[in-house]
Structure 1
Amino acid sequence: MIVINSRFLTQRITGVQRFSIELSLQIKKKLGCQVLFVSPPNILHNDLAEILEVKVIGTRTGHAWEQLDLPCFLNRTGKPLLLCMGNTAPVMYRNKVSILHDVTFLRYPKTFSKKFLMYYRLVIPWVLRTSRHVFTVSKFSLEEIVSSYKINRHKLSVVYNAVNPIFEHIGDDVLNADKYLFAVSSIKENKNFGIAVNAFKIVQKQISDLKLYIMGDMNADSFRNMGHLIDECKKDANIKLLGRVSDSDLIRYYSNAIAFIFPSLYEGFGIPVLEAQSCGTPVIASNISSLPEICGDSVLYCNPYSIEDIASKMEQIINNAELHDDLSRKGFQNTSRFSWRKSAEVVVRIINSL
């Protein structure tokens, strides 16, 4: 029996949760009744919990459930192998495999609350030390983990993200009537939200009817130093802050954009790039962190520290139809390199070896 820590079902869906959900669905297909999904009682995604046949255990929630209720259950049931896919894991339980997606919390600590940082800095070294094997989502992240924690690289493996098949081109006459660039971002420091907005304003001077649509959590209360930028965006009629949207709406926004803009300073993988490419949208992406590894020659790279360079790349993709179509074609080819099925096969193979 393999037990999967399904605390991700109690959380809002971001990249880590999407990875955990997609990989879990594939592992369920492969292993069937050989795998047991367990979760705290505060499940948000009941439809997924039903598909995975989740067993609710314990009474606590959050980290307390993970560090107390989960290991108590495992110790009572013969100490089976545990798979944890959301960075953290019960530190006192040693028969486990863990997945650490990246070390953004070390490289960009201002992105996180003091409470979050304190917990991760305390727990992550113990998780790495007490796990039998550790996965991460790119070769870039693997090297970051090795250099940050001096862990033996033979203890780590790469299991890539992928994109759900629902992400495909869907035309929309209303959105297609607008000439817009699209970004999926937040006001976290590593997402480089401000520089994308400032680059757009340069291009806007040349193309007055150009718009910028931004999807993501813009909670200025958590990042007060960025609140002024959000206020500026709200005053610009050509910038639309969409907040969080459903997957169906996200697909439409991707599909009908001139280009997808992703000038991130630090990414363990960068799922939004593959989502945009699956919808046929050309991508302008940062030339650092994991993105060259994930994107190859399928995107138009930009210097994420240069407003002028990002603006120049925006103008290129808007004014050069041949470049636009070439990147769209290469994007489709790039996404075919990744699949949740293949990633699940990597995980299952190593789990079986343990």
Structure 2
Amino acid sequence: MSLPRILLDCESLKDRNSGFSHFVVPLAHELIRQNTRYQLYCYVPPQEVGGLGRQGVRYLTQRSFHKYFNPASYGLRLWHATSQLSWYVPTSPLTKVVLTVHDLNFLHENPDERTYTRQLAMVRRNIRRADYLVTISDFVRQDILRHADLLGYTGRQPLRYVPRGVEDLASVPLGHVPAYVPRRPFLFGLGTINSKKNYHVLAALLQGTDYELVLAGSFAEADYVATIRAAAAQAGAADRVTVLTRISEADKTWYYQHCLAYMQPSLAEGFGLPVVEAMQLGKPVFLSRLTSLPEVGGAAAYYFDDFSPEHLRQALAAGLARHSPARAAEAQAQARQFSWAQAAADYLTVYQELLGR
């Protein structure tokens, strides 16, 4: 008797550096390792066929025209759409759909009207098609409930929070140094460099100190980089801000290891992966209290209650003075809660609930 066929949407592998890829790849590997009930397919761009291995998985090749003529799915019992903004949903109405919702940041960021309208339409379409909704943080689950009418969520589908996993940081090769080595104690921030990240407020922390600020991301919006540099100039620290893009994994780990503190003053986050990575090393992390960040950082993090320069400086000084080996151990314990093995096991339970086996 053949096993039921299920599919994991891995279309995001078109960019291995994207945040969605950092979700899909480790989840796929764990599903392949743990799965015994289903024939697992991964839906991938042509160049990624075989990229997740050959044992325990088959592949369906993604094509750009699938946005308009959806991929054939009549042999599939279940389709796992791994992003709330996915273009790709199954044609067959008999195929069950699990939808992972990473964030509803467009409701919190005040984007331009075109972006807001486009993202809302996509999220509404995917929620209506889904048979089961999963969120990567409890904040996002609550966000769906708060905005149920706007999103078209009627409550007919189960809605569950499955904490995403976080991979252990790769070790840094002996003697490795990044292309840019800070010359002073430095604060580090990681993530797409745009207004949502709110990095420009950190310039106040350079005033009256000898600190540097190093920001790294897969992409940097030029207008927002200009905003950051203007804030640094106003603080008298124009030469102490460095913006990097597409750094290597080894460089990333090096910056975590050597920074004075990790900073994430974001206005909106669906999760906060770098927060967990920094806590894996026991680093002091300083976060906003907005959206999902308090859930991720827990009691092990330090928080900005507002973004006034005086408060930012006071919070940083107090947190650095408080940090200790015991606090570092608390941060590492908090980070260990986010396991890919557990996330995959939880998703397999979701699949079983939908398929009844």
Q: When the two structures are superposed, what TM-score results if normalisation uses the length of structure 1?
A: 0.83
Contact 1:171 1:255 in 2 (8 A): no
Moved more, 5-14 or 322-331: 322-331
Aligned ranges for residues 14-163 of structure 1 at < 5 Å?
14-31=18-35, 34-41=39-46, 43=48, 47-48=51-52, 55-57=59-61, 60-61=63-64, 64-70=65-71, 73-75=72-74, 78-87=75-84, 88=86, 89-90=88-89, 93-94=92-93, 95-110=96-111, 114=114, 116-150=115-149, 151=153, 152=155, 155-163=158-166
Over the matched positions of the two proteins, sequence identity in percent amounts to 21
Structure that is richer in helix per residue: 1
* Whole-angstrom distance in 2 between the partners of 1:179 and 1:16: 32
Contact 1:142 1:157 in 2 (8 A): yes
1:183 partner amino acid: G
Q: Deviations over 1:96-115 (max 9, x none)?
A: 111111100222142x793x
* Compared CA separation, residues 170 and 284, structure 1 to 2 (3 A): farther
Matched residue, 2:273: 271
Contact 1:103 1:141 in 2 (8 A): yes
* Compared CA separation, residues 121 and 84, structure 1 to 2 (3 A): same
Matched residue, 1:236: 238
Give 1:170 deviation, angstroms.
Answer: 8.4
* Whole-angstrom distance in 2 between the partners of 1:147 and 1:25: 33
Matched, 1:2 2:6: yes
Matched residue, 1:306: 308
1:139 partner amino acid: D
Aligned ranges for residues 278-293 of structure 1 at < 5 Å?
278-293=280-295
* Compared CA separation, residues 113 and 326, structure 1 to 2 (3 A): farther
The CA RMSD over aligned residues, in Å, is: 3.0
> 5+ unaligned residues in a row in structure 1: which ranges?
none
Aligned length: 335
Contact 1:162 1:335 in 2 (8 A): no
Matched residue, 1:344: 344
> 5+ unaligned residues in a row in structure 2: which ranges?
none
Contact 1:259 1:281 in 2 (8 A): yes
Aligned ranges for residues 315-334 of structure 1 at < 5 Å?
315-318=317-320, 320=321, 323-334=323-334
* Whole-angstrom distance in 1 between the partners of 2:325 and 2:182: 16
* Whole-angstrom distance in 2 between the partners of 1:285 and 1:47: 35
Aligned ranges for residues 199-214 of structure 1 at < 5 Å?
199-202=204-207, 205=208, 207-208=209-210, 210-214=211-215
> Residue 46 of structure 2 aligns to a residue in which SS?
coil
* Whole-angstrom distance in 2 between the partners of 1:98 and 1:15: 17
Identify which of 178, 184, 195 aligns with 1:189.
Answer: 195
* Compared CA separation, residues 326 and 312, structure 1 to 2 (3 A): farther
* Whole-angstrom distance in 1 between the partners of 2:176 and 2:15: 34
